[in-house]
Chains A and B, each alone.
Chain A
């Protein structure tokens, strides 16, 4: 009996480390450059996601707006929040683009067409991005230490079970397979 103890101890240590410690240790967390509130902007600046996150005429998706779009309103401090004051002082006035960490950033060889999913497949933004658009603060960006990609698109506690949290190839393939739209690798890879 005593002979099995070191083996069991080793296995137990690794099981605890692998299940409890590793999933935390693999990510490093960093804050976004600006404490941006989608909620405030949805109330005051635009009604729909497309008002800021627009499609270009050729169908490509412009993604996060650039500074000149922000500076259209925030040329000077408008409100009373510290976040806005910092944003204007650190980015607008010196005309420096904030280096946003993109939760949905994809590997270089992935071709993802927003317009095919939004306009053709009629998916709503929250199918993938959750309640990102109604949030008051940006979540810290959790970056995988090895691969460099975000842990998830928009992880909130109640969302883990219901929708796709991370944008992995298996998640894409699963849906495409259900839709009968899985033809070849080059459908989504470039």
Chain B
């Protein structure tokens, strides 16, 4: 008997039919389906006990209280602390995703620490008599800031630089006392001050927003004054004229408002007090209105600083960047670990010596000053870092709260304050504890602890307990003194505005600066266009047509000192003659000093 090819097919056919009557094929289908549910490439979340840890967000000067939902030790979600007497449980979208930052693709975890130290030492050795070593501190008032000031006092030419500010240091804003607020482009409801406090105070005041574009704050304001770009000082002058019974001249023409609108706003400021005038750029001629409407002592108040140890008082004073002579800084150390206002690089660069300046940026990513510095030294990032957060601009009382480390930082990060202290050969290892002890010794104010939502008078807390509470989620709030001193506003000269006539469009920073955030913020910037990304510009369709660009197309934004690749978004609600951009390190470097630009096809 010989087997034929046909028999083989019969065998195979029989096998196939036979297999159908066994569990094997059906089982394989089920198993494959089960396997495919956890397809390789889809990560599996770690499981474990859910715990709560508390800290304070150090991403911006607001320092909102944070409750972190942790699996084991790892934070998986952040939320506010509802009972907090000042931050009221509010968190902004940037803070809500802060726990992603250690894993940001732009994170730097290693840097040339030794080379930077050597370069600084050699630059210091050949520092001429009129040249300086300077630290630029973007968030002054911290304990680290005191360390910088003490360290810089060790050198005869040490300079401590801060961004220019009128409000936020020893002058604070008391929103709760305000009845009328006139805001010149301040993002009052979009990240200014402490969001929870602003929201809590919002019911109590009428908000007039003078701003070229309809920002988030303008949308929510009681009245929006759509003024011409750059005409804020003119409007302030016009209001001052109304208050002083002077003629308005051509203010209406200059600002694009009607005279009636200007007079009404001025009357409201005068009649419905206490009033408050805020300006996004804190221009002296605008803040001067506060003196006219009697805000000082009511809505703008003096604030004591949180106590510091007496032995720290040998420290240099703060200098504003503009007060430093051009070409005089040989060594510049920039602390970006605690983000604050970004100063355009051109303003910083002209203060450096012409030959071989040493610029070191302390940052967790190279996206800020790291783009310009010779050395970028990695720092811890929230929520890895341990730092204190001074009171925000809208807190009438001093505060002391810690951003405690929820996850350990990478091994090679640098603590900027300790790095500078080591250069100056002073000791600065335990400064936060020393500061906490100094505050405790003063016995003033109250301690609010997050886990149990309790306020305790500081004099009823022991020093060790105070320190422990601060590290486990707590906030010290100073007592507001009973007798208010009337503050004085120091007004500098009006800022000179550069005009560049060949650039047809006025630049409006439509999106408040936010810094580098979690990758999940793509939900707002990329997967929807709720917020304007730094690489996008908004134009009126007519303007876009004039520029030869189209909606969704690539274009180049050109200003006096450079150019930037951008994506065009058309918005019929945008004013003509204006290009809206988001405030970020790149756009501020480009447009921060000259407010005009043009858009051309890429």
Contacts and interface: CB of A to CB of B under 8 A. Distances in A.
Does A associate with B in a complex?
Answer: yes
Interface of A: 2-4, 6-15, 17-19, 22-23, 26, 56, 58, 60, 62, 107-109, 144, 146-149
Given A146-B31, A147-B34, A149-B34, A15 B13 contact: no
A60 B15 contact: no
A171 B595 CA distance: 69
A60 B38 contact: no
Contacts of A17: 22, 24
Interface stretch (B4-12, B110-118, B126-134, B271-279): B4-12
Given A22-B27, A60-B50, A108-B44, A14 B18 contact: yes
Dominant SS among interface residues on chain B: helix
A26 B50 contact: no
Given A6-B11, A22-B24, A13 B34 contact: no
Interface in B81-95: none
B49 interface: yes
Interface string B17-48: 11101111001101110110110000010000
Given A9-B14, A108-B37, 10 more contacts: A2-B1, A6-B3, A6-B11, A7-B17, A17-B24, A22-B22, A108-B38, A147-B34, A148-B35, A148-B38
A62 B49 contact: yes
Given A108-B38, A146-B35, A147-B34, A13 B23 contact: no
8 contacts: A11-B18, A11-B21, A13-B18, A15-B21, A17-B22, A18-B22, A144-B31, A149-B34
Contacts, number: 90
A3 B35 contact: no
Nearest to B43: A108
Contact of A14 (B15, B28, B37, B44): B15
B11 A9 contact: yes
Q: How large is the interface on B (under 10, 10 to 19, 20 to 34, 35 or more residues)?
A: 20 to 34
Nearest to A7: B14
Contacts of A2: 1
Interface string B356-389: 0000000000000000000000000000000000
Contact of B23 (A23, A60, A108, A147): A23
Interface of B: 1, 3, 7-8, 10-19, 21-24, 27-28, 30-32, 34-35, 37-38, 44, 49-50
Contacts of A58: 50
A14 B32 CA distance: 21
Contact of A60 (B21, B30, B49): B49
A9 B38 CA distance: 39
Nearest to A62: B49
A18 B3 CA distance: 25
A107 B11 contact: no
A18 B24 contact: yes
Contacts of A14: 14-16, 18-19, 22
A13 B16 CA distance: 10
B8 A15 contact: no
A111 B16 CA distance: 38
A7 B35 contact: no
Given A7-B10, A7-B11, A60-B49, A107 B23 contact: no
Nearest to A168: B30
A19 B37 contact: no
A9 B13 CA distance: 10
A17 B21 CA distance: 11
A10 B49 contact: no
A12 B14 CA distance: 8
B35 A10 contact: no
A18 B50 CA distance: 45
A147 B22 contact: no
A143 B52 CA distance: 36
A68 B298 CA distance: 59
Contact of A107 (B1, B10, B28, B38): B38
B262 to A, nearest CB: 58
B49 A56 contact: yes
A19 B14 contact: no
Closest 9 CB pairs of A and B: A18-B22, A10-B14, A11-B18, A14-B18, A146-B31, A7-B14, A10-B15, A147-B34, A6-B10
Contact of B35 (A4, A8, A56, A147): A147
A86 B10 CA distance: 57
Contacts of A147: 30-32, 34-35
B65 to A, nearest CB: 22
Given A6-B11, A11-B15, A19 B22 contact: yes
B321 to A, nearest CB: 51
A150 B6 CA distance: 42
Nearest to B28: A146
Question: Which of B13, B16, B22 has the most chain A CB within a 10 Å cutoff?
Answer: B22
A26 B27 contact: yes
A2 B38 CA distance: 49
A149 B37 CA distance: 12
Nearest to B9: A6
Contacts of A148: 34-35, 38
A23 B3 CA distance: 32
Contacts of A146: 28, 31-32, 34-35
A71 to B, nearest CB: 18
